[in-house]
Amino acid sequence: MLKILVYIHAPAQTPTKGQRELLALAASLGEAAVVLGDNADDAARAGLHGAGATAFYGAVTPEQLRGELIAPAVSLLVAAVRAAGADAVLLPNTMEGREIAARAAVRLDSGVITDAVAVDQELNVTKSVLAGSYTVRARITRGPALITLKANSVQPAEAQDSGAQVPPVQTLELGESGPAARITATAPHIASGRPELSEARFVVAGGRGVDGDFGPVEDLADALGAAVGASRAATDAGWIDHSAQVGQTGVTVSPQLYISAGISGAIQQKAGMQSAKYIVAINKDPDAPIFEIADLGIIGDLASVLPQAAAEIRRRQG
């Protein structure tokens, strides 16, 4: 049976959807163990255990993980791979996940595959390349496979209370992590109340066409319970925070529904959203490239289309 490690950067009281997706994929491939990127109390571990984790690895000195950027996390992951004799490691396809995977692969003399959307029993990985223009299958030929999984690619594991004893954490020495950037201060992220963009099932995104006013985009997002995304033109203009940027140099999303409003559909934007299950595009230019990949295209002014859509959704919700 394959031994699969899942790297969980920030264990929460209840596992997030992204964490449950990683665990579901790991459990479908073999025995799923979790590497804890921070302290996880009994409740947090019970949640991960209920979602499929059969063992836990953590740091003897978790404060080291919190005090520096990713170097100690890499040391922990490498130590856990060796302790578990892991065949593969699954990580989130975030900036952090990809960087940790890359550094760990160098130390393990192995390989990394990013942007994965599926993995089979032989550890063949399906992924999209060249800004999403092609889907390819790839396989790591040497050492444990380090794979970063795109959000919303697999059905998340249901968190169940099995009543079974939660396995203890096997602690590992991190040793000297080498030159590392130190964290001198942190500030809590101000929660918008909307779902996390990279994990959201629905995304409403606005581009230059919103002309500075994200109000209609946000209103439709709230009617749908969606996250708000944006094109680079909109984030560069300062109309919305850079963390909302979807695309090659922003967040990659794979929601069930992506509503694109006032976005032309440049290749760098498509790279971050074209694996969405359904794409609805609203643009006043009938020749906009976004219509080439849209399941439903609406030629019109977003200032008029978005409020009508929000009103209709609220009416149907009663």
Q: Which residues bind ligand FAD (CB under 6 A)?
A: 207-209, 231-234, 245, 247-250, 262-264, 266, 268-269, 272, 282-285, 288, 301-303
- If the CB atoms of residues 156 and 247 are measured against ligand FAD, the closer one turns out to be 247
Which residue has 């490239």 as its token pair? 289
Reduced to 3 states (helix: H, G, I; strand: E, B; else coil), residue 135 is strand
Least spacing, CB of residue 225 vs ligand FAD, in Å: 23
Cβ pair 36, 56 in contact under 8 A: yes
- If the CB atoms of residues 112 and 298 are measured against ligand FAD, the closer one turns out to be 298
> DSSP code of 25?
H
Cβ pair 86, 4 in contact under 8 A: yes
Least spacing, CB of residue 226 vs ligand FAD, in Å: 18
Tell how far CA 34 is from the center of its chain: 17
Tokens of 268: 């760098």
- If the CB atoms of residues 53 and 217 are measured against ligand FAD, the closer one turns out to be 217
Region of residue 227 (phi > 0: left; psi between -120 and 50: alpha; otherwise: beta): beta
Least spacing, CB of residue 132 vs ligand FAD, in Å: 12
Q: Is the dihedral of CA 79, 121, 138, 8 positive or negative?
A: negative
Least spacing, CB of residue 288 vs ligand FAD, in Å: 4
- If the CB atoms of residues 24 and 279 are measured against ligand FAD, the closer one turns out to be 279
- If the CB atoms of residues 25 and 234 are measured against ligand FAD, the closer one turns out to be 234
Least spacing, CB of residue 254 vs ligand FAD, in Å: 15
Length of the chain: 318
Least spacing, CB of residue 240 vs ligand FAD, in Å: 11
Which residue has 């009281």 as its token pair? 13
Contacts of 133 (CB under 8 A, 6+ apart): none
Q: Residue 225 CB: number of other CB atoms within 10 A?
A: 12
- If the CB atoms of residues 18 and 207 are measured against ligand FAD, the closer one turns out to be 207
Least spacing, CB of residue 155 vs ligand FAD, in Å: 28
* Cα Rg of the chain (Å, integer): 21
Q: What is the dihedral of CA 117, 119, 120, 123, to 10 degrees?
A: 150
- If the CB atoms of residues 114 and 231 are measured against ligand FAD, the closer one turns out to be 231
